[in-house]
Structure 1
Amino acid sequence: MRSLSVFFVVFSFLCAPQFGYAQELNEQYLETCDCCDTLLCRDKLTGNWFGHRTSLAQQGIVVESALTQFYQGVASGGAEQKFRYGDKLDLFILGDTGRMGLWRGGKIKIHAVDWQFGQNVIGDAAGLAPVNANLVSPLPEPSFALTHLLYEHELGGGFTAVVGRNNTLDFWETLYPDYGRGVDGFMNMSIPMPMNATPSMPFISNIAAIMKAGERGLQAAFVVMESQESPTTVGLDFPNGVTLVGLARNNTNFGGLRGSHTILGTYATGEYTSFDTSDWVIVPPGGVTPTQQTGSWMLQYLAEQRIWADPCNDRRYTKLFGRVGVSDEDTSPFGVTASVSIEAFGAMDNRPNDRMGMGYFYSGLNSDFKSLFVFANPLEDVHGGEVYYNAEITPWFHLTGDLQVVNPGPQALDTAVVIGLRGKIDF
């Protein structure tokens, strides 16, 4: 209860009059006016900075930030029944080099502050199905870093060259702008994202890429990544080869409603521990040395389809999302993973800025990975579901109620029932 009290004390303080998490540099900032700049109706808590926010956008610079607070706990089952309070402070800076008066065709995207503080219940609930996607970054513990710094340059014909530091949570927003990064939509990482990308695709790393975009976003990409995880450090030494990522997307318009089909594949060239114990070397007395395998791969199919859309408001729609993937059984803990979900964005006429969703995921563990724990702590496949409702309290403050039921993996643990409250304030 002390943590819950802290949540509302912090919220009350931030609601006092004071002078915002960005996706793309878009025209809405250039059209911002002060016609509704009272505290309860402005889009950002800090308003338009007496016109300076619009002025910066006209010069090619967007600065936005958000504080997201989580009060989440395991009500029953899992490894430990405990409620914990945690925070994430994000600061994004977007720059258009043309508008900045430098050169045309360049964009800079920076996740300048990725600061996690407080606690989370990922380990208490289900470590193989993180119940709080946003609090795994930069690390699943209190941590601070600049996790995303990309420069994009238009090459013509829809092609773009990209180089820099990449955060997968932010990259996924390029594919699915409405997925929510764990601060707006689903909180469990296993529903929107391919868990079987481990270990072939590092979560935060350096990349170089060629991407092809159309009117409806990314269509194809080829990415070379440094396969080493570097969430809080900066370097470029390729200690374990590279990861090659290929992506192809086909946008559809079935029944006049938007959809897409995406194939995503990875191949890592480095050395990884093999879970096939038949090749492990026995070291007397009673020890073993795991063998290493060259290369690891993952393949994923993802599809989304709107099943309803408001013809007068493109921000109001209901969509289905599903994915299924396989990975290298010798190096990845996961074999077959899948999820299916439905989300409604502004589905109610009187609540046009609310969103809600429910989803189910399945993460099948590879048999060789399970065999490592058969005597100490036997494992079974991980699966579960989530339901959430994200309510707009004010345009700059959203409050989400979240319920997850997850089979955590270890057979000794009961099904985890996880209850969460999430408050997001856009500055």
Structure 2
Amino acid sequence: MRRTFAKYLMLASLSGWMVTTAAAQQPGKFPESIFDDASQVQNVSYYDGIASDVSCGTSCGDFAPSCGDCCGMASSHNCLWNRSQLTGDWYGHRSGLAECGITVQGSLTQFYQGPSSGGNREVFRYGDKFDLYLNVDTGKMGLWEGGQLQIHAADWQFGQNAILDATGLSPVNTAMLLPKIGDPTYAMTSLQYTQAIGGGFLLTGGRINMLDLWQTFYPEYGRGVDGFMNMSMMLPMNVVPSLPLVTNGAGIIKAGDRGVEAALLVFESQNSPTTVGMDFPNGVTIVGAARKYTDFWGKPGSHTLVGVYATGEYTSYDTSGWIVVPGAGVAPARKQGTWVAGYLGQQQLWSDPCNSKRHTSVFGYVGFSDVDNSPFQWTTSISIEKFGPFACRPDDRAGIGYFRNALNSDFQDTVSILTPLQDLQGGEIYYNAAISPWFHLTTDVQVIQPGIIANDTAVVLGLRGKIDF
């Protein structure tokens, strides 16, 4: 399972051609009929089993051909390079299980990444992320209608990562944050059941992986294994410390034809990626979201308002309330409750009339948080991604974006005892090349002004290889 990127590149060169097929399936999604907007999500649905929208290998140049000129012929799914997953259909067993309501998908993502200059330490590190998903449709199994069980059965990271080498307040590798940052860990990070109760409403509950839940709202963003790698490019960092990445929770979701429209969820406030049980040691976190879908300029878009309130006690960065304990140092003050509020917007700018998979989208957010408890006063990001940058490479994707994480003054004053801090800002650019339907190779560059003033600007280079099996 553990291969070098040199072997990947050698394998690609020996193939002699690039096969352009459907984008890798997105694990962790709910069914298209319940959540997803088919006009925005152009890749093959996770619940389509082994379905694949295979394009022909004809060279069409850099411009879109007339509809039907190039992609009318489908290559054989049995060919190794045309499969949507490396291991294929398991002699019909994979598609047979899917017809019976059991869908299995896995991936191995390898990273080689590090600061080439600046940051905390100039070192490159190699690490791996193994993900295995199991989804069960109770209706297809002949049990009862409207039930979906989503299991992130294996969430395993091993090797090393460059998150702390670059700058910890803007993680340069989102995927390697789970299950635990810094240490090789293995866990089942999601065991979530969802039941449709009519009228577009669904009840959901269980063990929830926040990155998987995030992908329910924005399926194109890929949990850091397909698109941008820096967490600040995908979601507001203001959620720290109120929203754990893996925890237990339950709530109600309203879904329409185009996706999630509203949600009200309640979670434990503690992060428990490798433990089970519900003991609520620090209150609960309540999350509410409302989403409006639009069609500006005839192109799909959405606008989401999110609010988070945590009832527990958190460290206050207002040092005026700290107590000096003789012989024992300083006892930080605690504050009851903390909040986060944010807006997220997404808009498609362009689409290929001959190939709906090819489109350009802009995404941005702004988030605000309680300055007493969060390191961040506000955060923001704006990015543009193109899916299918070239007509005959519809499965490639590329993106460029900018983010800024403004630290609150109390947090800066507190940490300045050790080292002066400043706001973080930076940009990221990537190109994800589909070597085959089941193997994508990404080059990634991040330039970040670090939070520690004494550190030079971090230039973080990365390679990412993802195999869907």
**TM-score, normalised on structure 2?**
0.87
1:410 corresponds in structure 2 to 452
Which letter maps to 2:193? Answer: Y
1:65 corresponds in structure 2 to 106
1:203 corresponds in structure 2 to 245
Q: Distance in 2 between matches of 1:418 and 1:54?
A: 41
Select the residue among 289, 294, 297 that pairs with 1:252.
294
Q: CA RMSD in A?
A: 2.1
Contact 1:21 1:92 (8 Å CA) reproduced: no
2:181 corresponds in structure 1 to 140
Select the residue among 222, 241, 247 that pairs with 1:180.
222
2:268 corresponds in structure 1 to 226
Q: Distance in 1 between matches of 2:99 and 2:417?
A: 63
Alpha-carbon distance change, 357 to 112 in structure 1, aligned in 2, over 3 angstroms? same
2:352 corresponds in structure 1 to 310
2:195 corresponds in structure 1 to 153
Matches within 5 A, 1:255-404: 255-285=297-327, 287-404=329-446
Contact 1:207 1:223 (8 Å CA) reproduced: yes
Which letter maps to 1:91? Answer: L
Alpha-carbon distance change, 15 to 24 in structure 1, aligned in 2, over 3 angstroms? farther
Contact 1:21 1:64 (8 Å CA) reproduced: no
Which string of whole-angstrom CA distances, capped at 9 and with x for unpartnered residues, describes residues 155-198 of structure 1?
10000000101111101101100011100000000011110011
1:28 corresponds in structure 2 to 48
Which string of whole-angstrom CA distances, capped at 9 and with x for unpartnered residues, describes residues 226-283 of structure 1?
1111011111000000000000000001111000000011000001110000011122
Deviation at 1:9, TM superposition (A): 4.4
Q: Distance in 2 between matches of 1:206 and 1:286?
A: 36
Identify unmatched segments of 5+ residues in structure 1: none
Q: How many residues align?
A: 422
Does residue 1:115 correspond to 2:156, yes or no? yes
Contact 2:50 2:89 (8 Å CA) reproduced: no
Which string of whole-angstrom CA distances, capped at 9 and with x for unpartnered residues, describes residues 27-65 of structure 1?
633756994211111111001111111111110010000
Q: Distance in 2 between matches of 1:187 and 1:326?
A: 22
Contact 1:21 1:66 (8 Å CA) reproduced: no
Give the match's secondary structure for 2:415.
coil
Alpha-carbon distance change, 376 to 31 in structure 1, aligned in 2, over 3 angstroms? closer
Matches within 5 A, 1:125-136: 125-136=166-177
Deviation at 1:14, TM superposition (A): 12
Does residue 1:243 correspond to 2:285, yes or no? yes
Give the match's secondary structure for 1:140.
coil
1:212 corresponds in structure 2 to 254
Q: Distance in 1 between matches of 2:8 and 2:397?
A: 24
Deviation at 1:314, TM superposition (A): 2.5
Which letter maps to 1:210? Answer: I
Does residue 1:83 correspond to 2:124, yes or no? yes
Contact 1:323 1:339 (8 Å CA) reproduced: yes
Q: Which has the higher contact order (CA 8 A, sep 6+)?
A: 2
1:56 corresponds in structure 2 to 97
Contact 1:24 1:94 (8 Å CA) reproduced: no
2:78 corresponds in structure 1 to 37
Contact 1:280 1:291 (8 Å CA) reproduced: yes
Q: Distance in 2 between matches of 1:129 and 1:31?
A: 37
Deviation at 1:355, TM superposition (A): 0.1
**TM-score, normalised on structure 1?**
0.95
Which letter maps to 1:86? Answer: G
Q: Distance in 2 between matches of 1:42 and 1:165?
A: 32
Does residue 1:93 correspond to 2:134, yes or no? yes
Q: Distance in 2 between matches of 1:21 and 1:303?
A: 21
Deviation at 1:13, TM superposition (A): 9.2
Which string of whole-angstrom CA distances, capped at 9 and with x for unpartnered residues, describes residues 141-168 of structure 1?
3111000110000010000000101111
Which string of whole-angstrom CA distances, capped at 9 and with x for unpartnered residues, describes residues 45-103 of structure 1?
00111111111111001000000000111100011111110000000011100111111
Q: Distance in 2 between matches of 1:38 and 1:373?
A: 57
